[in-house]
Structure 1
Amino acid sequence: MASQSIEDHRSGAEVHTGQELCVRKSREFLVELGLPDGLLPLPALEEAGYNRSSGFVWLRQAAGVTHTFDSIGKQVWYDKEVTAFVEPGRMHSLTGVKSKELLIWVTISEIVVSPSGTKIVFRTPAGLGRAFPVTAFQLTPAPAADGEQKEEASN
């Protein structure tokens, strides 16, 4: 099903291939959308695509992968194909992502950054959600306030 959606949105999309380029571009897409750059930690990507006119994004890798976000103690499984419709601060109609809750894997269908930008909420198809600090999913530290930058420069 995801493969068909990818083909439906491929026309007019920005498509990248090759592991290094795909990893970099997927992080750039996330940052451009106001999402944390470590949200989709897929080190072996083969293809990354973004159809800006429809807001459809896809990521393809050779095999599914499980990643543990150590700071919050959560395991997340990413399928061979991860797809979503995106808009600033939000991914919806997400496919290919599951989170381990207790002993079961729960499908994640939506990811939204709070208006304050400090929390990120993950929702299931049933609408149940769980919030975490955005910092748990950031690879690149958030820019420091002006006062902090001056302090560092003077040290």
Structure 2
Amino acid sequence: MALVIPEELKAKAEVWYGDEKGQERIRFFLREVEMPNALLSLKDIIECGYVKECGFVWVKQKTKSEHKFEKIGRLVTYATEISAYVEKHKIRKLTGVKVKEFLLWINLVEIYAEEPHAERITFKVIGGLSKTFPASAFVLETKEIKEHNEVEKPKEIKEAIAVKDRKIQN
């Protein structure tokens, strides 16, 4: 089912296009609501929008994607269209994100932390059940973010950057 954003809401939104801008904005939203920076590990973002006055966020990807959070051993799938309302320490009315639990894919509806910079993050599914994990499982260090962003660059571009860096250092 396609994500339908009412025109009056979209008219108030800031919208960005492309993967690079989309990744940047997702990290910005997560930082602004004081949540871990790798909580939403999306790929090939087409469009990303944000309505600041109500906290509505949406993201569109080229294809459905999966990500395994290695530190907690959980597999998550992201639909092509994801939406949520964000506020300090909380992502609510989340759509398009599922977690695999005991061979079943379950829709996540809310993610929250009890306090600023909390050490634990709670994930709530439909039906009110929830599970709490260490926040550190959803954090990419600055070096990892750089490596994650460089993965998609062609070899020639990486080589050109390396040559340029060597020239600057000399």
Q: TM-score, normalised by structure 2?
A: 0.78
Alignment RMSD, CA only?
Answer: 1.5
* Cα deviation 1:95-133 (Å, max 9, x = unaligned): 000000010001100000122611100001211000001
Residue 138 of structure 1 corresponds to which residue in structure 2?
139
The separation in 1 between residues aligned to 2:42 and 2:80, in whole angstroms, is 10
For the pair shown, the structure with the greater C-alpha radius of gyration is: 2
Q: Which has the higher helix share?
A: 2
Residue 42 of structure 1 corresponds to which residue in structure 2?
42
Shift >2 Å, 4+ stretches: 5-9
Name the SS of the counterpart of 1:108 in structure 2: strand
Counting matched residue pairs gives 141
Contact in 1 for aligned 2:43/2:65 (Cα 8 Å): no
Change (3 A) 1:6 1:38: farther
Q: TM-score, normalised by structure 1?
A: 0.86
The separation in 1 between residues aligned to 2:2 and 2:13, in whole angstroms, is 16
Residue 59 of structure 2 corresponds to which residue in structure 1?
59
Larger RCO: 1 or 2 (CA < 8 Å, sep 6+): 1
User: Structure 2 stretches of 5 or more lacking a match?
Assistant: 143-170
Residue 103 of structure 1 corresponds to which residue in structure 2?
103
User: Structure 1 stretches of 5 or more lacking a match?
Assistant: 142-155
Residue 14 of structure 2 corresponds to which residue in structure 1?
14
